[in-house]
Structures are given as C-alpha cells and as structure tokens.
Amino acid sequence: MTTAITNVRIFDGEKMNDNSWVVIENGLISDKISADTVIDGKGAFLISGLIDAHAHVNSKTNVNALVEHGVTTACTLDQSVKALRLADSVKAWSCCTMAVGEVPYPEDFAAKEKKNGADYIKVILEETPRMALKAMSKKTLERIVKSAHDMGLLVAAHAVTVPTLQMASDAGVDIHIHVPLKEKIPQGLIGQIAEKGAYVVPTLGMMRGFSRSLIYGYRRQDYSNAKDNVKRLYEHGVPIAAGTDANNVPFLPKIKFGSGLHTEMELLCEAGLTQLDVLKSATVQAARAYRIPNTGKILPGQRADIVLISGSPDKNIKDISNICKVWIDGKEVL
C-alpha cells in the first residue's frame, strides 16, 4: 500500500520544493510517482518530523504532547527511555544514565552504557549543589570521552560556564548542551568548537528561564549573553541543533513538551539564525548531531516521519505551531 501527499510545499532538509509531492511506502519515503491513496495537501507545508535534541520525557502524557506538536524523535535520558520505548510513536535516542562528578571507573561506565543500549553518553561537568551533583575533573572527562569514542559512542556534555565548555571542547566532546549565561564565549573557543566539528544544543528557552528566576543566581540581562553566544557560534559555522530541556523537575524552569520546541525555534531565529537554518536545526542538524540514521530529511529511503503544517514556517517560524497532520513510520498518528 502506497500513499501520496500531493500539492504541498516541501522542506526536504536542505531546500524548499514548491508545488511538490511525496510518496510513502512500507514506512519509508519512496521514489515512486504514483500511489494507491492520494491525499491533497491543499498547498500546505511538509517537513520531516521534528527532533527535540534534548528532553527529559518520563510519561505517556509527555509523549502525547510531543506528537501533538509534530515532534517524532526525542534525544532523551534515563527513565525517559522506558517511557518512549513503551510508546508506539515517538522514537527515543538516548543514554541510560548520566556521568556526574568523579566516576570511579570511567572506562567501565562507558562499557556499561553501551551494554545497556545507550546511543550516546551524557556527562555533567559543573558542581550543582541544588541537585547534589559534584564537579567532574578534566582527567575523568578525558577518560570517559576516549573510552566512549573507542566503542563508537558519542559524548554529550552539560556545560553552562566558559571553563567547563573549554574543558569539554579540549576533551573532544561531540555535542555541547546549553550555552553560558553569565559570560560570553571567547572567540578562540568558538573557533576550536567549529574546527572540531562539534554540535551545540543551546536550549535558549531553558537559559531564558534561568535568567528570569531569582533562585539560580542569574540576572535577567544575562540572557543577552546566551543569545549573543548562539549568534557568534552560528556565524562561525558551528552547527546548531534545537533542543528544549523539557522536564518534569519541580525546581527547574518549566519548559513544555512539544510546544517548547516551537518556542526554542523562535528563540533561535531571534538569536540570528535564518528561518531555513532553524528548520534544519530541528530536523537534519539534530539527526546529524546524534547520528540518527535515515531521519531528518524528506528523501527516498528516509523514515516516513513527516508533519503537515498550515502556513509557511520557512518565511514565518511562528507557523511551525500550525500542525495539521503527523505521520510516524508512514502511519498517520494525528
């Protein structure tokens, strides 16, 4: 059984294709030009399913919210793996636990993660008293990164200060989660991140939330540093992936599941990304960052995770919230 969606404007992950169509067969995008069933898109906008490059999902309610907002893949953690894998919809790309502080046997930690089915490893570098988290040393980080890479695993690092961001980059971390709030990233460090080909997931919504709360020691004006850091990273060619840090933690800024990614995309636009590059950040760039196969583009052979949208988010990013239909693995789920 094949299904064609016709009369649509398609963002294929790289460029726009006006007055186009797509054919779905066996859960994948097909190169066929005819189909058993035809759906008239009536001039709407078609994009690959959105990817949240950083979220903490732990309930079916969270999963449903993602689907309702066109998010078909979530890069997530720990207990959220179970929640997502129980769902017949959103795909989980995940680590199993986080490396925090002085991990006694870094090589064993990476091996255990791989054995447990982790797609990547996450490390937290700063001391965070409110969460009883200890700081990680440079040596421990280097050992985790080396052992993970030796086993073919990526490493994503939570780093919200310039010193920890520098430490992460020096160690060869693949994905940098968050951007500094209190300070601007030195130009030399931006150049190093770009040269190493690392990705950055800024989570601007979370950074803005921290700057608006009095209990974290930030000021409202600190958010301008985060925006400027993203702007300069982007201008220097550092690839940006859109992620929210959506969570259910009571004492953290509340970022909504699903709609939080739409907000994040708007904030990335405000920080200086073009609207097409923001669309890439929530699709193909997020897929590349985490090496998620056959995901993020509307091309033959790619997974048929696609979203039909009313409006033109390539011209007005706010239209990304006008979700009409969602397909996952070629099945209409919304």
* Predicted pLDDT at 132: 46
pLDDT of residue 282: 99
**Tokens 């760039």 belong to which residue?**
285
Q: Using pLDDT thresholds of 50, 70 and 90, give the confidence band for residue 20.
A: very high
pLDDT at 175: 98
pLDDT tens track for 21-41? 999 999 999 999 999 999 999
Among 113-127, 159-173, 236-250, which is the least confidently predicted range?
A: 113-127
Mean pLDDT for all residues in the chain: 92
Residue-wise pLDDT for 42-64, tens only, equals 999 999 999 999 998 888 899 99
pLDDT of residue 265: 99
The angle, 0 to 180 degrees and rounded to 10, between the axes of the packed helices 60-68 and 79-86 is 60
pTM of the predicted model as reported, rounded to 2 decimal places:
0.94
Q: 322 and 309 in contact (C-beta within 8 Å)?
A: yes
Please determine, for residue 216, whether its predicted confidence score (pLDDT) is greater than 90: no
pLDDT confidence band for 244 (50 / 70 / 90)? very high
Look at residue 190 and tell me whether its pLDDT is greater than 80: yes
CATH of domain 49-290: 3.20.20.140
- pLDDT of 303 over the 50 cut: yes
Tokens of residue 303, six digits:
């997974």
6-10, 217-221, 311-315: range with lowest mean pLDDT: 217-221
Structure-model confidence comparison of residues 115 and 183, the more confident one:
183
CA–CA gap between residue 189 and residue 237 (Å, rounded): 13
6-36 b/e (C-beta count within 10 Å ≥ 16 → b): eebbbbbbeeeeeebbbbbbeebbbeeeebe
- Residue 80's pLDDT is what? 53
Q: Has residue 86 got a pLDDT over 60?
A: no
Rounded Cα distance, 265 and 279, in Å: 8
The answer to whether 8 touches 17, Cβ cutoff 8 Å, is no
CA distance 303 to 125: 35
Any bridge partners for residue 5, and if so which? 22, 39
Q: Map out the domains of the chain as residue ranges.
A: 2-47+297-332, 49-290
Pairing assessment for the beta strands 28-30 and 71-76 based on DSSP bridges: unpaired
pLDDT at 113 over 70: yes
Q: How confident is the model at residue 273 (pLDDT cuts 50, 70, 90)?
A: very high
- What class is the 2-47+297-332 domain? mainly beta
| Mean predicted confidence (pLDDT) in 256-278 | 99
Q: Is pLDDT at 131 greater than 60 in this prediction?
A: no
